[in-house]
Chain A
Amino acid sequence: QKEVEQDPGPLSVPEGAIVSLNCTYSNSAFQYFMWYRQYSRKGPELLMYTYSSGNKEDGRFTAQVDKSSKYISLFIRDSQPSDSATYLCAINQAGTALIFGKGTTLSVSS
């Protein structure tokens, strides 16, 4: 079983839709959970991070971690065409390198 699993999509939604992006992981020792956004032909940029179970909100974005199920989610409310990108989940534990999911490609149409 891979350490991080992420459905690559692609995912296509109309403008204004609520988007749900998800990852599962296998190692309960992982402590830190991140979401990166990558526009085409660019490097990824950190979007959100959380270190505990529960929800973390930042504007239209909500990151959710369920450690008991080893499941992390990113929700995008009122999606915009500018949200069209690839979203990568990333996890690690203290002192180790990040492990990235394969990324989900999102397209928001106007």
Chain B
Amino acid sequence: DGGITQSPKYLFRKEGQNVTLSCEQNLNHDAMYWYRQDPGQGLRLIYYSQIVNDFQKGDIAEGYSVSREKKESFPLTVTSAQKNPTAFYLCASSSRDRGPGELFFGEGSRLTVL
């Protein structure tokens, strides 16, 4: 079955450590996205990539980094510079063949900083 796989589902990190969240899709979608979700805040865009080897900052990119070396993979690194990293992180993808607002989401990764 095609879909988006995020790992790990739960992650604990000590302050000052970098952590990388994995996102893999086998939908053959060109665009991929990372969102952060906090209680009562909705989804906020961190980074997005429309093609391999290219990505753009979203609304809250500070303290995060990404790479897009392969079409199917879009890992997110939460660096020690991110002041409030505890959150639910969602990866999504979309295709030019579908509607402009049709995103397919993974199950999410919950990061807790101790």
Contact = CB atoms under 8 A, between A and B. Distances in A.
Contacts of A103: 42
Nearest to B38: A102
Interface residues of A, number: 25
Contacts of A91: 101
Given A32-B101, A43-B90, A102 B108 contact: no
A98 interface: yes
Interface in A56-99: 88, 90-92, 94, 97-98
Nearest to A98: B101
A31 B106 CA distance: 26
A35 to B, nearest CB: 10
Given A49-B99, A97-B58, A98-B101, A43 B45 contact: no
Given A43-B90, A43-B107, 4 more contacts: A43-B92, A46-B102, A98-B101, A100-B35
Interface of A: 6, 8, 32-34, 36, 41-46, 49, 51, 88, 90-92, 94, 97-98, 100-103
6 contacts: A43-B108, A44-B103, A49-B99, A94-B100, A101-B42, A102-B42
